Amino acid sequence: MSLLEVREVTRRFGGLTAVDNVSFNVPEGEICAVIGPNGAGKSTLFNCLTGFDSPDAGTVTFAGRELVGMRPDRVVRAGVARTFQNTQLFEEMSARENVMVGCHAKTRAGFVSTALRLPWTVKEERLAAEDADRLLRLVGLEEWRDAPAADMPHGLRRLLEIARALATQPHLMLLDEPAAGLNNSETEALAHALYRIRDHGATLVVVEHDMGLVMEVSDQIVVLDRGCKIAEGPPRLIQKDPEVIRAYLGEEDPEDV
């Protein structure tokens, strides 16, 4: 059975059908890429998978549970984490604190127990800090631990958001254009981080424009165009698919967001 099953998901905005009857499966332990020109509906699809938006039709089943209609924080607790195309960091908080917020899904100190400084809350804090440090090392950001997110270079901010998503201990991670705005060496570092994350047991779905990265890391590719799925398969076949080539050649500037 697949870890994630997307069935006939449709999302309309007025007259525009941003996601049109899209279905696909993501098997456990794979890296799946969702590609397509700007405005193809990739981010909208991600929002529908993570509770930030609800589709007009269709179902999203994760490990046997229906995700449609679930609140975003519940989706996270169910084991699905995401990053955003426009990074959503806590700018005034340090890198470590950003990641520690990601630990919230797995920690439980509330207002009363924290106000009373109960010993177990102090211990939980320490463990969360250690977890955060470990994840910062995993994505190569240990030197930025105490720096406010606002002071970090663009490429590293994306890695920080990935570390924060990892802190929720997800089984499935959805990354929306993680390589956008990254230079070559940063993209290379990202690719390695993605492998490491998969090797840690997480399944990945990546929206990406960077074809090099997509062809390198993904096991399976889903191609969207104007809301519809126009192709699906391993990188070798997708590269040669005439529909895909047409969709991409018809686009002026694949880089802009």
Partner 1 sequence: MSGRSLNISRFLTVRAAIVAVLLLVVAVLPLFVTGTDARYVLKVLTFVGINVLIVTGLALLFGYAGQVSLGHAAFYGLGAYASAYVTATLGMPWFVGLAAAIAVTALGGLALAVPSLRLRGHYLAMATLGFGEIMRIVFVEASSITGGPDGFSGIPLPSLGSFVFATPQSIYWLVWGVAALAIMISYNIVSGRPGRSMRALHGSELGAMASGVDLVGLKVRVFVISAVFAGVAGSLYAATVGFVSPSTFTFHFSVVLVAMAVLGGTRSLAGPAAAAILLTLVSFPDIVLPGLSRDILAVVQDWEVDIYALVIILVVLFLPEGIAGAGRRVLGLLRRGVVEPSGSDSGTGQRGDEA
Among 3, 18, 43, 162, which residue sits at the site for Mg ion (rule: CB under 5 A)? 43
For residues 191 and 221, is the Cβ–Cβ distance under 8 A? Answer: no
Q: Which of 13, 56, 69, 117 binds partner 1 (CB under 8 A)?
A: 117
Give the 3-state secondary structure of residue 229: strand
Assess 85 for contact with Mg ion (CB under 5 A): yes
Contact present, 177 and 254 (Cβ < 8 Å): no
Using the rule CB under 8 A, is 107 a contact of partner 1? yes
Q: Count of alpha carbons within 13 Å of 40, Cβ hemisphere only?
A: 24
> Is position 119 an interface residue for partner 1 (rule: CB under 8 A)?
no
Would you list the DSSP string of 61-90?
EETTEE-TT--HHHHHHHTEEE--SS----
* Percentages (nearest 5) of helix, strand, coil residues in the chain: 40, 25, 35
Binding pattern for the stretch 30-69 against ligand ADP, x by CB under 6 A and - elsewhere = ------x-xxxxxxx-------------------------
- CB nearer to ligand ADP: give 237 or 257: 257
- Least distance between partner 1 and beta carbon 230 (Å): 29
Give, as ranges, the residues between 3 and 32 that touch ligand ADP (CB under 6 A). 13, 16, 18
- How many whole angstroms separate alpha carbon 178 and alpha carbon 214? 11
- Written as one letter, the residue type at 245 is I
Distance CA(134)–CA(35), nearest Å, equals 31
Phi, psi of 19 (to 5 degrees): -130, 125
Site residues (CB under 8 A) for partner 1, limited to 166-205: 167-168
44 binds, among ligand ADP, Mg ion, partner 1, none (CB under 5 to 8 A by kind): ligand ADP
Site residues for ligand ADP per CB under 6 A: 13, 16, 18, 36, 38-44
In the complex, the residues that contact partner 1 under the rule CB under 8 A are 50, 52, 71-73, 76-77, 81-84, 88-94, 96-97, 100-102, 104-107, 109-111, 114-117, 121, 124-125, 128-129, 143, 145-148, 161, 164-165, 167-168
